[in-house]
Amino acid sequence: MTKLIIILLSAVFINNYVLSRFLGICPFLGVSKKLNAATGMSLAVIFVMMLATAATWPIQMYLLNPNNLGYLQTIVFILVIAALVQLVEIVLKRYIPSLHKSLGVYLPLITTNCAVLGVTILNIDEGYTFVEAMVNSLGSGLGFFLAMVMFSGVRSKLEGADIPKAFQGLPITLVAASITSLSFMGFGGVIENLFA
Amino acid sequence: MNEILTAVIPVVIIGVICGAMLVIASKLMAVKEDERLPKIRECLPGANCGACGFAGCDGYAKALCENEGTATNLCVPGGDNVSRQLSELLGVEFADVVEKVAVIHCAGDCEHTKDKVDYIGMNSCAAAKLVFGGKGSCAYGCLGLGDCAKACPEGAICLKNGIAHIDTRRCIGCGVCTRTCPNHLISLVDDVERVVVTCSNKDKGAVTRKVCSNGCIGCKKCEKVCPNGAIKVIDNLAVIDYSKCSDCESFGICAENCTTGCIMHSDLTGALKLADSNG
């Protein structure tokens, strides 16, 4: 149990996918302008990360590894995740139109997102069991959510700020992103000692 | 060769399975869309301005499809052309669209009114309004920071001499600016109207005169000279009832007789003034 909590917390804070591993930067900069969009995108990412892990972990363990096809990992995972997200979109559109309306725009964006692929591959590399892998992907999704919501707050403050002309737009956003990322470096080494 | 095949075959098989799964799913769970919807959507200009009262062009197209009674002449930017296409598609009678333009009811530019304070803050009318009602000495007037210009989808509004000006040739009549102005200075009038009251100050005449030389002082002269009785002074401010305003010597009796010059031809407030200042 303790191990699961450590995995969850370290995925959220220490190995935060956006701010520490620098994966999924595209939606982090692209969709973080408004809090609503940031929340919608992050919820979709949490959902897809868990779904992708649930699908790819068995494929790796029961299909690729026994046949010595481990090197096909990347291409097979991309294929499976893309198909899965499309399937989810079709199902949502048919049965839960309201959810499709709020998440639908973001689902195609996620199909080839490196954060999602990163979670599934790192789950295998770390040698997690299925439950651990699911907890890790939940934590990674929550970490993404945290980063997005925090950064959309930072950006809404930036809107009203008096910024020198040369820094307006993308430059100041990148500067703000790097400072936000720096602040997460402070979590390093905290979680391990929490339960020691 | 064998090694390549062992790699290619599993990937192909997984790909085929995924593809088949998606095909079956999309057939089984297809959501029926009205086939007229994309056609209707194509007719609309796509500015998503909201002048029709629906949430953008998609919302209007959906309403046209689903509710039989939705009027086809609600798209002001599209004009008669769009209305005709829509009524043909839906098989209803064509209805004329009244083109509208936005006019600004304030002419208090730098030469006519003064600032009461220096405003250093967010470059937004809505923010400036929160600080003692704006920097200008007239609390009703244009704040001059261009929230309307930022909102205009056609770039028809520009800031000149401290107040906003609307280029009536570029204005599509969507009305986004009317909802943006924190002082509610902008209104839509039918494109045929000729005179506009360019003041919104409701203070008594003496107070108005102190803050702006262009303001309406409520002297009621226009009320008296208007042959159609279309102008009424309400709350010390002249208001034109456009349903009564009609041809009186090229729509100009009130404008000619206005004491402070705050009643103007609507083309003078917009396009021509811009042309003048551009030289």
Pick from B151, B163, B173, B250: nearest CA to B199: B163
- The beta-carbon neighbor of A83 closest among B18, B29, B30 is B18
- The beta-carbon neighbor of B22 closest among A75, A83, A93 is A83
- pLDDT, tens digit (0-9, with 9 covering 90-100), for B259-276: 888 888 765 444 443 444
Query: What ipTM describes this predicted complex?
Result: 0.73
Burial of B200 (0-12, 13-18, 19+ CB in 10 A): buried
Asked whether B207 and B113 are in contact (CB, 8 A), the reply is no
**What number does CATH give the domain B100-277?**
3.30.70.20
Q: Does A67 touch chain B (CB under 8 A)?
A: yes
Query: Which pLDDT score is estimated for B251?
Result: 58
Task: Report the first-to-last Cα separation within chain A, whole angstroms.
Answer: 14
Q: H or E element: which one contains B104?
A: strand B100-104
CA neighbours closer than 13 Å in the CB half-sphere of residue B138: 37
The rounded distance, in Å, linking the Cα atoms of A75 and A93 is 27
Pick from B187, B193, B188: nearest CA to B248: B193
Low-confidence ranges of chain A (pLDDT < 50): none
Q: Which residues, other chains included, contact B224 with Cβ-Cβ below 8 Å and sequence gap of 6+?
A: none
Asked whether B230 and B241 are in contact (CB, 8 A), the reply is yes
Q: Does B18 touch chain A (CB under 8 A)?
A: yes
Task: Specify the pTM.
Answer: 0.59
Q: Return the percentage of chain A with pLDDT > 90, whole number.
A: 24
Asked whether B196 and B189 are in contact (CB, 8 A), the reply is yes
CA–CA min distance B272, chain A (Å): 33
The rounded distance, in Å, linking the Cα atoms of A170 and B50 is 30
Cβ–Cβ of B22/A63 closer than 8 Å?
A: no
Least confident of A122-136, A153-167, B47-61, B102-116: B47-61
CA-based nearest residue in chain B for residue A59: B14
CB atoms within 10 A of CB A151: 23
How many domains is chain A partitioned into structurally?
A: 1
Q: How many inter-chain contacts (A to B, CB under 8 Å) are there?
A: 45
Query: Which pLDDT score is estimated for B272?
Result: 40
* Confidence check: pLDDT of B242 > 90: no
Q: Does B120 touch chain A (CB under 8 A)?
A: no
Asked whether A128 and A140 are in contact (CB, 8 A), the reply is no
What tokens appear for A57 in the block?
A: 């972990």
Query: Which pLDDT score is estimated for A196?
Result: 61
The domain locations on chain B are 36-90, 100-277
Length of chain A, please? 196
What residue numbers bound the domain in which A100 lies?
12-185
The answer to whether residue A194 sits within a structural domain is no
Residues forming a β-bridge with A102? none
Strands B195-197 and B231-234: unpaired
Query: Which pLDDT score is estimated for B266?
Result: 61
Cβ–Cβ of A80/B18 closer than 8 Å?
A: yes
> In degrees, to the nearest 5, what angle opens at C-alpha B20 toward C-alphas B18 and B21?
65
Task: Report the first-to-last Cα separation within chain B, whole angstroms.
Answer: 78
Burial of B2 (0-12, 13-18, 19+ CB in 10 A): exposed
The rounded distance, in Å, linking the Cα atoms of A60 and A121 is 10
Cβ–Cβ of A87/B10 closer than 8 Å?
A: no
Asked whether B59 and B151 are in contact (CB, 8 A), the reply is no
**What number does CATH give the domain B36-90?**
1.10.15
- pLDDT, tens digit (0-9, with 9 covering 90-100), for B121-180: 888 888 888 888 888 888 888 988 889 998 888 888 988 888 888 888 888 888 888 888
CA-based nearest residue in chain B for residue A163: B122
Test the B interface: residue of A60, A73, A79 with most B CBs within 10 Å:
A79
The rounded distance, in Å, linking the Cα atoms of B113 and B63 is 46
Q: Does B122 touch chain A (CB under 8 A)?
A: yes
The answer to whether residue A117 sits within a structural domain is yes
Q: Does A80 touch chain B (CB under 8 A)?
A: yes
The rounded distance, in Å, linking the Cα atoms of A137 and A52 is 9
Cβ–Cβ of A91/B22 closer than 8 Å?
A: no
Q: Does A93 touch chain B (CB under 8 A)?
A: yes
The answer to whether residue A83 sits within a structural domain is yes
